[in-house]
Structure 1
Amino acid sequence: TVPVLSDGSFTRAHFVERWTSGMPVVVSNVDRRLQGRWHPEELSHDYGSEKVFPVDCETNEAVKKPWKAKEFFEYLQNPDVNKPVMKLKDWPPSKSFRTTFSDLFDGFLRSIPPSCQDIARVDGKFNLAAHYAKNGNTPDLGLKMYIATGSKEHGDRHGTTRLHLDVTDAINLLPWCADRKSAAAVWHIFDANCAGDLRQFLHDTHPNLRSCDPIHSQCVYLSDDMLASLASQYGVRPWIIHQRYGQTVFIPAGCAHQVRNLQSAIKVACDFVSIQNLDRTLALLGEQRAHRLYNQGPEDVLQVHTLLWYAWLSTRSSNNVADQFDMDCSGGESIIWVSWTITDLITYLQTTTTCRAVSTRTQSHPMRPRHPCAPLYVQGFTL
């Protein structure tokens, strides 16, 4: 079970301490500052004419003919328990959330707890992705909405979101559900260090997935029976979170997770790149690249080496900003140390003339002591 923090009752240091541990974090009462028109009727009024392609959560296939958003929002409020759970994934799918839903975008940013805004906001100074050049090809890390029906009657065979993991950290807010008195969604989040055992278990139970990565393929939802078998055979147990209205879930990079709606709900999520999980983000790049090459996986939208380059330029170009970063030590990791780590990585990038996978350690800079968290392993990092 993951302890729930109440917005306004914890300090930044308290949040960072928990975040550095690699555990997910849950914060309640963020709805106190939430602004925007998040109710399905309001979304239907504002965007009802948009064409959408709902996905059947049992087959994971989208409908052939588009629905109007108004139709989907009507179904969201009056779902048929005899029909499959339906969802809108990554809405809007191709347009910028900031452009399409500017008011909701601003409302979401204001809802992020003040104690972690500089880490999780898209413009937070400790969000490495925020340092991307404004005229660069900035990666789209969200926001995105995930809207789905759901009910306890459908059982636990098919989740709303199947098991997967992300190379970035994520923040997920629940701004609307049909019944505020009850939990809206159940999350199963696995420690990033358990990914190997989790893959082996999935290969054992799903022979058809042995030729691919069973987590990156996003083909499986672990039922309660499967979770029990996983625990008995490998000793692997997930953190279980019952997300309610007005709660935000922070998911660390590399933590495999799945979600099942217990009722109709709207969730909105955004990715970010924190200092605390930077080593894990880098280590996951090789996995994602291999999956793209052999299984036609999604393209690399993060462009992490470019992202780190801009973060390095940003922290080195302003003494004032660098001083602020150096004064803030997040679990022993100041951003100046991260800047030097990036310096080492950039030096490697500049001196490497061939494209190859590498496994390297950060080198001690002659002008600074070696950081206690070093060495930082960059495993499977492919240029």
Structure 2
Amino acid sequence: MVDEQRTEIDIEASIRGLMPTYVKLQQAECHPDERMFCNNCRTSIVDLHRNCPSCSYDLCLKCCRDVRTGELFRSNSAVEIRYEDRGKDYLHAGQVDDTNTTLRKAACREDSTDNYLYCPTSRDIREGDVEHFQKHWVKGEPVIVRDVLEFTSGLSWEPMVMWRALREKTKSRAGFEHFAVKAIDCLDWCEVEINIHQFFRGYTDGRAHSNYWPEMLKLKDWPPANAFEERLPRHGAEFISALPFQEYTDPRYGILNLAVKLPKNILKPDMGPKTYIAYGLAQELGRGDSVTKLHCDMSDAKEENASNSVIFSDADLHAKDGYLDNRELVPDISGQPAWKKKPSGKLCGSHGSASQDEYVERGSDGIDRVGSGEMMADEKPSVSGQGTESISAEDGALWDIFRREDSEKLQAYLRKHCREFRHLHCCPIDKVVHPIHDQIFYLTLEHKRKLKEEFGIEPWTFVQKLGEAVFIPAGCAHQVRNLKSCIKVALDFVSPENVDECIRLTEEFRDLPQDHRAKEDKLEVKKMMVHATSKAVEKLQKYRSRGGEQTEEEAEEDGEDDGSGAAAEQDRR
């Protein structure tokens, strides 16, 4: 960044015919509640930039460089992707159980030392295990923390309890029970409006379409406001108190969370907490599954499974003939559509025992594998008859997290097979801008088998249980499928180990088309770095000027930074 600034000052000096030291820079006006972005690439502006005095158009230094090299408009072309709504008829047409160890097996990569994920308990962390976490975190490996609810007050996270708590905080409760929310229907990925009480009833009792096909609904970022702790204060306090590795995750006092270093008078990015409430089903349907599609977060993230609920326990669900339209599927080399093939390969997983054609498959190597692959069009899926008895009460969601170094191969596979995937209105995917940032793909068991067969890569695959927290490093593409109805609470943070990856992602997002969903620089990690560095230098200078002694105010401030302030506040609560 410093080199870019020096180059731009030299160019400005050359334009004015001055020495660089004589160039006087004008101070830009920026209000505390305002964010400065480059009007071309939408990257946040931290320091030097160019500004048009007539129209207030701001341009970052990298775009200035692109102007001079003639590459400024390379990312400006809008990409329009249209999906045709073909109606309701068209819409319906491994893991070894290592929960008792320090580690959990999540992959079967040959000649690899990262097949196991670090999986401590909350009790382990309280006894001091940050160094062990850091050894895995610095290598870009996910971490699973078990039993995070063990030391909480036991506040219920069931949706009806949260709903009643929200009603208590709402000033006017008139008509609240008739309040409608917008949820995502995972069958066609379109928004549907549903009464909030009906949505929560469907969470526990289940819902189905008119032909008995399971109706999978998702409610993102609920309650619909940034101030989660204001709308649900007791749940917010409970969540903060249960955070593992609070040096990194605490949104107020985390000493290793760069997002905390932003001054109080600056508009801050929304880092959470946020809740995601979604239905789920153990069987992989292949269409209409309750999933979070493959994507990559700009920052580090932590997701906790706070509640599970079994749905469709007694329902006899079945599919229409013609569930998959053969004419739209690309056949493989043998000429057989992909949905007629049974899965094979060595994908690791963990679960209880089950027969081979049930939800959990046992391979010849004795490893249980999650899923039964795409089903035949004339099969009639029944939850009670598809091996879901092997799903325990604690199992909540199936995770696939890819290594950063496998990103290019993963993207190549998705571009090659994009027509085999479906998105809006269940239409085949015709155009791909960025296979990961578009968030339009979900890799089924069959696709994961083909990915390993063709490109030699596989994700870490594991089942997240009730009360487990998953830490996802920035830059790791991941996807999730709910095995049951789940409530997850997510929180973003920026760790020093992954700040370089956050910057790399910012540059990657910068090159996306102007109208892309991931284009905007919402994190502003460069601004975080500037303030974090400035704060560290300021403290160091004061510390040295006093011969290594701290004032009472500085000691109190450091006490807040190291998390003791958060603990004291929690004790008061």
Q: What TM-score comes out, normalization by structure 2 length?
A: 0.53
Q: Distance in 1 between matches of 2:226 and 2:498?
A: 28
- Give 1:260 shift: 0.4
Query: What residue is the counterpart of 2:146 in the other structure?
Result: 28
Query: What residue is the counterpart of 2:261 in the other structure?
Result: 131
Query: Within 5 A, what are the aligned runs for 1:218-257?
Result: 218-257=439-478
Q: Distance in 2 between matches of 1:322 and 1:149?
A: 54
Greater fraction of residues in helix: 1
Tell me the alpha carbon deviations over residues 258-281 of structure 1, each in whole angstroms, 9 at most, x when there is no partner: 000000110000000001111111
Cα–Cα, structure 1 residues 71 and 321, in superposed 2: closer, same or farther, change >3 Å?
farther
Instruction: Tell whether the 8 Å contact from 1:292 to 1:299 is kept in structure 2 after alignment.
Output: no
Which of the numbers 79, 85, 89 marks the counterpart of 2:206? Answer: 79
- Give 1:33 shift: 2.2
Instruction: Tell whether the 8 Å contact from 2:218 to 2:290 is kept in structure 1 after alignment.
Output: no
- Give 1:317 shift: 2.4
Cα–Cα, structure 1 residues 86 and 72, in superposed 2: closer, same or farther, change >3 Å?
same
Query: What residue is the counterpart of 2:121 in the other structure?
Result: 6
Which of the numbers 265, 272, 291 marks the counterpart of 1:142? Answer: 272
Query: What residue is the counterpart of 1:117 in the other structure?
Result: 246
Cα–Cα, structure 1 residues 197 and 72, in superposed 2: closer, same or farther, change >3 Å?
same
Q: Distance in 1 between matches of 2:293 and 2:506?
A: 21
- Give 1:93 shift: 3.7
Query: What residue is the counterpart of 1:372 in the other structure?
Result: none
Which of the numbers 516, 522, 534 marks the counterpart of 1:295? Answer: 516
Cα–Cα, structure 1 residues 298 and 60, in superposed 2: closer, same or farther, change >3 Å?
farther
Q: Which moved more, 1:252-261 or 1:286-295?
A: 286-295
SS of equivalent residue, structure 1 residue 186:
strand
Q: Distance in 2 between matches of 1:41 and 1:8?
A: 30
Query: Within 5 A, what are the aligned runs for 1:49-68?
Result: 49=176, 51-63=180-192, 65=193, 67-68=194-195
Q: Distance in 2 between matches of 1:239 and 1:196?
A: 17
- Give 1:318 shift: 2.0
- Give 1:250 shift: 0.3
SS of equivalent residue, structure 1 residue 31:
coil
Structure 2 letter corresponding to 1:76: Y
Q: Distance in 1 between matches of 2:542 and 2:276?
A: 35
- Give 1:299 shift: 2.5
Query: What residue is the counterpart of 1:46 in the other structure?
Result: 165
Instruction: Tell whether the 8 Å contact from 1:159 to 1:258 is kept in structure 2 after alignment.
Output: no
- Give 1:165 shift: 0.4
Query: What residue is the counterpart of 1:367 in the other structure?
Result: none
- Give 1:84 shift: 2.2
Query: Within 5 A, what are the aligned runs for 1:274-293?
Result: 274-293=495-514
SS of equivalent residue, structure 2 residue 293:
strand
Q: Which moved more, 1:228-237 or 1:158-167?
A: 158-167
- Give 1:225 shift: 0.5
Cα–Cα, structure 1 residues 151 and 12, in superposed 2: closer, same or farther, change >3 Å?
same
Q: Distance in 2 between matches of 1:33 and 1:322?
A: 37
Tell me the alpha carbon deviations over residues 230-266 of structure 1, each in whole angstroms, 9 at most, x when there is no partner: 1111111000120011100000000000000000110
Instruction: Tell whether the 8 Å contact from 2:219 to 2:277 is kept in structure 1 after alignment.
Output: yes
Structure 2 letter corresponding to 1:250: F
Structure 2 letter corresponding to 1:201: Y
Q: Distance in 2 between matches of 1:303 and 1:7?
A: 31
- Give 1:100 shift: 1.8
Q: What TM-score comes out, normalization by structure 1 length?
A: 0.78
Instruction: Tell whether the 8 Å contact from 1:203 to 1:209 is kept in structure 2 after alignment.
Output: no
SS of equivalent residue, structure 2 residue 406:
helix
Structure 2 letter corresponding to 1:206: C
Query: Within 5 A, what are the aligned runs for 1:68-217?
Result: 68-80=195-207, 82-113=213-244, 116-123=245-252, 124-157=254-287, 158-178=289-309, 181-206=393-418, 208=429, 210-217=431-438
Cα–Cα, structure 1 residues 97 and 320, in superposed 2: closer, same or farther, change >3 Å?
farther
Segments of structure 1 that go 5 or more residues without pairing to the other structure are: 324-383
- Highest CA radius of gyration, 1 or 2? 2
Q: Distance in 1 between matches of 2:259 and 2:493?
A: 6
Q: Distance in 2 between matches of 1:185 and 1:292?
A: 33
Alignment RMSD: 2.2
- Give 1:159 shift: 4.3
Q: Distance in 2 between matches of 1:182 and 1:155?
A: 21
Tell me the alpha carbon deviations over residues 285-305 of structure 1, each in whole angstroms, 9 at most, x when there is no partner: 121122252535453211122
Instruction: Tell whether the 8 Å contact from 1:159 to 1:221 is kept in structure 2 after alignment.
Output: no
Percent identical residues: 31
Structure 2 letter corresponding to 1:231: K
Structure 1 letter corresponding to 2:398: V
Q: Distance in 2 between matches of 1:292 and 1:310?
A: 30
Greater fraction of residues in strand: 1
Query: What residue is the counterpart of 1:265 in the other structure?
Result: 486
Query: What residue is the counterpart of 1:18 in the other structure?
Result: 136
Query: Within 5 A, what are the aligned runs for 1:234-383?
Result: 234-293=455-514, 295-297=516-518, 299-319=520-540
Instruction: Tell whether the 8 Å contact from 1:174 to 1:244 is kept in structure 2 after alignment.
Output: yes
Structure 2 letter corresponding to 1:20: V
Tell me the alpha carbon deviations over residues 342-368 of structure 1, each in whole angstroms, 9 at most, x when there is no partner: xxxxxxxxxxxxxxxxxxxxxxxxxxx
Tell me the alpha carbon deviations over residues 103-148 of structure 1, each in whole angstroms, 9 at most, x when there is no partner: 22211111112xx111122120100011111110100011111111
- Give 1:20 shift: 1.3
